Amino acid sequence: MKHTIWYITLLSLYLFTINNTFSQSYCYPSIPDSITDRNQRIEYCAQHFWDNTKAIDTNNNQEKKMILDYIYLLSNLPYETVENEIYSTLNHFKNDIYSYNYIIQSFYHFIVNQDSPFYDEETSICLVKAIHRNNNETIDDELFEQLMEKLTINRVGEKATNFSFVTDINDTIELFDINSDYIILAFINPECSRCHAMIDSLISNNTLNNTLKKDKFKIIIINPIDNQFNNNQITMPNKWIKGYDYSGAIVAKKLYEIRSFPSVYILDKEKKIIAKEISNYSIIKKKLSYFQNY
């Protein structure tokens, strides 16, 4: 998870300064002096974060800051412990339906929502598992299976799903036919204004253009909903690969979980996913900064 510098600095200060408080209504748990290891301090704080909070005032903006603090702590824990921590939090508020629902809605907004700077795929999976364990009525078995299927399609670090498409010059090729150190794979709707804005922003991105000149980075733009690609709808550089899904398999067979347009994936040389389902250009830009010195 990526966070703004001021936020990381603020919470880091807390982790080493026991007496800090974020609001008058809430005091962070006091960490025993005997715990000096940073990771152990974070784990202790996460385990005891809600000890003095019986209910959440959903009308108080400070509560949102508390939840963000807690999410930051989760982001510093090993994934194998995150599910249990979330489960404990949900169990803590289980008897207060308003607090319980507010916690779930907030977690979803900050963790599962891909446009959130706090989005994290593995933590999203932990969240769904924890909710299902804690309250089978909130996420029943059928919904749980559906959510897990969506969350585990093309996971970060795994190889992307291959598919065939027809280019704007009527060549039929597969994703895996394209050799490049890195690939930006963008699914778009040609009538989507956000897609036009994203493409314009990519065209004007100096970091990306400098990398493209080295011919080690390729951009693939795919229209998954039409059986044609009209170059007159969106103007793009000739060097970009443009195409459409002539079989309709991407959507029909759910080869990729496209929640909104544009939906951008970044792949490495082995077609493993570095980032996925990004629709916010500011987040795309942050990801591209990785290639600034490439």
Nearest 5°: phi and psi at 207?
Answer: -60, -45
CB contact set of 183 (below 8 Å; sequence gap of 6+): 217, 218, 219, 220, 265, 266, 267, 271
Q: How far apart are CA 100 and CA 147, in angstroms?
A: 20
pLDDT at 230: 67
pLDDT at 140: 82
pLDDT at 290: 62
pLDDT at 4: 38
pLDDT at 21: 35
CB contact set of 257 (below 8 Å; sequence gap of 6+): 150, 153, 154, 277
Domain ranges of the chain: 5-151, 164-291
Q: What does each of the 294 residues of the chain score in pLDDT, given as a tens digit?
A: 444 333 333 344 344 333 333 333 467 789 999 999 999 999 999 999 999 888 887 777 778 888 999 999 999 999 889 999 999 999 999 999 899 999 999 999 999 887 787 888 889 999 999 999 987 677 888 888 888 888 888 988 999 999 999 998 899 999 999 999 899 999 999 888 999 998 998 888 877 777 676 677 899 999 998 776 666 677 888 889 999 999 999 999 889 988 889 999 999 999 999 888 877 777 777 776 666 555
CB contact set of 74 (below 8 Å; sequence gap of 6+): 46, 82, 85, 86, 123
Which run of H or of E encompasses 107? Answer: helix 97-107
pLDDT at 294: 53
Best CA proximity match to 194, nearest among 289, 282, 287, 290:
282
pLDDT at 23: 38
Q: State in words which class domain 164-291 has.
A: alpha beta
Residue with tokens 């795309």: 284
Residue with tokens 């990785």: 290
pLDDT at 232: 66
Q: Which two tokens stand for residue 170?
A: 């009527």
Radius of gyration of the chain from Cα atoms? 22
pLDDT at 220: 95
